[in-house]
Amino acid sequence: MAELAVDKHFKYILSVEKNKDSFESVVMDHLRMNGAYWGLTALDLLGKLDSVNVDEVISWILKCQRESGGFSGNIGYDPHILYTLSAVQVLALFNKLDVLDIDKVATYITGLQNEDGSFSGDMWGEVDTRFSYIAICCLSILCCLDKINVEKAVSYILSCKNLDGGFGCTPGGESHAGQIFCCVGALALTGSLHYVDKDLLGWWLCERQVKSGGLNGRPEKLPDVCYSWWVLSSLIMIDRVHWIDKEKLVKFILDCQDVENGGISDRPDDAVDVYHTYFGVAGLSLLNYPGLKAIDPAYALPVDVVNRIFFSG
């Protein structure tokens, strides 16, 4: 079986960070904050976070904070809840949450909660359970979850529960592994997993594993390394991960590596990117791959980072 090419991936991630002029980089300009989270968390899992210039990163993050308290995807862009979470997660990685005016960030997020408990992504009102997860995760990291109406947030998420046990982006939306991760994660963080029919959802999730050993995101779709995170972390949170063949999945992820140039792709022999590199490494961590730091399935941050937030003095 192939091995994880730790050094290659480490160098690949650093190169992505530096290369701001390729078409690929420019076209992803608007979500650089997400990219920072993917790249840096992957580096931490690989044990290489100290190769990064912390001050540079933090100074750039703070430049992305807008008047409303929310963060934008990159300098110049509008704020959005998506990038606010990534910013907070990166600061947590570096144990630098204290550079934040927590009230300011919390006010931005609480302002995005709607009457029915759902969350909008920004002032323009798009509603999606992804944003519910983001709000709950972000405020949990900042230790002020009680600033939102948690009960209503949970009941909105439950209104997106489908008859197959899964969750969609809005009520009636088809079950999709990404949405399921967000909803199960949000329910996990609010002590509400008892609302999940774990056997029903567990079966739906374990049937994402196809013959090649990879996982797809919904029935009759192609497998993709990023589902090694969305499906796997969901299975772990509901304690049903033993229902898939973990070894076969490890092999699939390792087959998606570019062992010459570094990086991981969605499927074997496809082009790599930092998004799939992160999800591949995170998936391997969840599968107990040796040499990787353990990652928390709900906060999507290394376990030691999460424990530091909740259990140190």
Partner 1 sequence: MHGRPRKAPKPEEEAASVAKAQKLRALQTQFFSFHHNKIYTKEAVELSAKLLEINPESYTAWNYRKLAVEHYLSQPDCNPDLIKSVLDDELRVVENALRQNFKSYGAWHHRKWVISKGHSSVDNELRLLDKFQKADSRNFHAWNYRRFVAESMKRSEQDELKYTEDMIYKNFSNYSAWHNRSVLLSALFEKKAEGFLSKEKVLPEEYEFIHQAIFTDPDDQSGWFYHLWLLDQTVTTDSPLLASSWPGHGYDVLLVEDRCYNGSAFSPFTALHSDSGSFPIVLYFNQPVGGVSSSTVTVECGFNKNEDLLWKPLSASNSQTARVWVAHLKIPSSDLHSTVEVSVGHSKGIISTRGFEYSHPSMFSFKVRVQPMERDFSQVSVAESISLREENFKIYGTQSEESIINSFNQLSIKNGHESTASNWRSEALAKEIECFRELLSLMDCKIGKLTLARLLMAYDVMSYPFANKLVHSEEVLELYSDLMKLDPTHYQYYKDEHSMVLLQKYKDSVSSAICGPICLRLNNLSLSRMGAFEKLLWVQMLDLSDNELQSIEGLEAMQLLSCLSLRNNKLRSLTALEPLRKLKLLRVLDISYNQIGDHSIDTTRYLCSSPLSHSVGSESNKDETVTSGVALIDNWEAFYIFKDFNLNQLDIVGNTIADEKFKSVLVKIMPKLKQLDGKLLG
Cα separation of 285 and 282, whole Å?
A: 5
Cα separation of 77 and 70, whole Å?
A: 11
Residue 118, φ and ψ in degrees, nearest 5: -70, 170
Q: Which residues pair with 79 in a beta bridge?
A: 72
Residue 55 or 247: the one with the smaller Cβ distance to partner 1 is 247
Nearest to 267 by CA among 133, 258, 309: 258
Q: According to CB under 8 A, which one of 39, 69, 70, 168 is a site residue for partner 1?
A: 168
Residue for token pair 């140190």: 312
Residue 209 makes contact with partner 1 by CB under 8 A: yes
Q: How far is CA 224 from the centre of its chain?
A: 15
Q: According to CB under 8 A, which one of 6, 11, 29, 54 is a site residue for partner 1?
A: 29
Residue 140 makes contact with partner 1 by CB under 8 A: yes
Residue 58 or 309: the one with the smaller Cβ distance to partner 1 is 309
Q: According to CB under 8 A, which one of 1, 18, 27, 67 is a site residue for partner 1?
A: 27
Q: According to CB under 8 A, which one of 52, 91, 138, 189 is a site residue for partner 1?
A: 189
Residue 161 makes contact with partner 1 by CB under 8 A: no
Residue 255 makes contact with partner 1 by CB under 8 A: no
Residue 193 makes contact with partner 1 by CB under 8 A: yes
Nearest to 229 by CA among 249, 248, 200, 243: 249
Q: Is 208 helix (H, G, I), strand (E, B) or coil?
A: coil
Residue 95 makes contact with partner 1 by CB under 8 A: no
Q: According to CB under 8 A, which one of 9, 32, 48, 276 is a site residue for partner 1?
A: 276
Residue 55 or 294: the one with the smaller Cβ distance to partner 1 is 294
Of the candidate spans 6-14, 51-59, 96-104, 271-279, the one that interacts with partner 1 by CB under 8 A turns out to be 271-279
Instruction: Give the CA radius of gyration of the chain.
Output: 18
Q: According to CB under 8 A, which one of 122, 141, 255, 282 is a site residue for partner 1?
A: 122
Q: According to CB under 8 A, which one of 68, 96, 207, 259 is a site residue for partner 1?
A: 207
Residue 103 or 239: the one with the smaller Cβ distance to partner 1 is 239
Residue 103's contacts (CB-CB under 8 Å, 6 or more residues apart) are none
Cα separation of 293 and 275, whole Å?
A: 18
Residue 115 makes contact with partner 1 by CB under 8 A: no
Residue 22 or 55: the one with the smaller Cβ distance to partner 1 is 22
Of the candidate spans 1-9, 50-58, 87-95, 162-170, the one that interacts with partner 1 by CB under 8 A turns out to be 162-170
DSSP 20-74: --SHHHHHTGGGHHHHHHHHHHHHHHTT-GGGS-HHHHHHHHHHTB-TTS-BBSS
